[in-house]
Structure 1
Amino acid sequence: MKQAKPFIAICKDRPNDPERFHYSVFVVNNTEKELNEVHVHSSAFLTEDGELITSTPCDKSYPVLEAKSFILLETLDEGALDITTNYQLSYDNGNGKRTIQYFTLPKYLRNLEQRDYLPVLSKQGYLART
């Protein structure tokens, strides 16, 4: 049996958002242990006319992410799917060692696994794997 791991998910779960930010991006702790000193680093890029355009990196920190819980990282509009976004998730999983995982939300969510049911979130969405 596969061991559960934290993951990044994106869900189109905000259909009535007045600002048209219809997508939510979550970090999900699908484990039985709390994660301490959780840090998420994100950056995005796209190419236009052969030129690389990058976003300003963003860093968010959380003291703890309880077992079987999630944190809303950000909300996105449709235009944000025109870019590739990378996430680096790091945390202390209780043994004093830092774990680092890397995730990518590809342009237009291409090749992401779509699920009818995402664990912990209990909703439909896309699962980004390491």
Structure 2
Amino acid sequence: MRVVKSQEFAKRASKLGLNDDALLRAVEEIENGRIDARLGKYLIKQRIARPGTGKSAGYRSVIVHVVGDRALFIHVFPKNEKANLGANELGLYRDLAKVLAESPIDQLLKANWIEITHGGYP
């Protein structure tokens, strides 16, 4: 399982105080079947706890997930900023998920995606 985040995701997560350990915990939950919302064939929304609080008041992450192969973090937002993705936004993410699910990871890394390489993952 390879875990990768887009540069935009990394910048936003850093501003929100969200670290890689929290992302890896989210991936572990997903791999164990604890998925918060399936948004499409490869697209899921997973809650991530805000430091010092629970998941319900925390962050929502949009992840491209291929079981046992990859988790690609593409978007994150605080729940208090917006409750859900809009219809147009969701459609765009679904289209993107189809492409990213089949793109070679090494190609993504060359395009400046960032691999998370600890916590039992490569």
Q: Which has the higher strand share?
A: 1
TM-score normalized by the length of structure 2: 0.31
Greater share of residues in helix: 2
Bigger radius of gyration among the two: 1
What TM-score do the two structures reach when normalised by structure 1?
Answer: 0.29
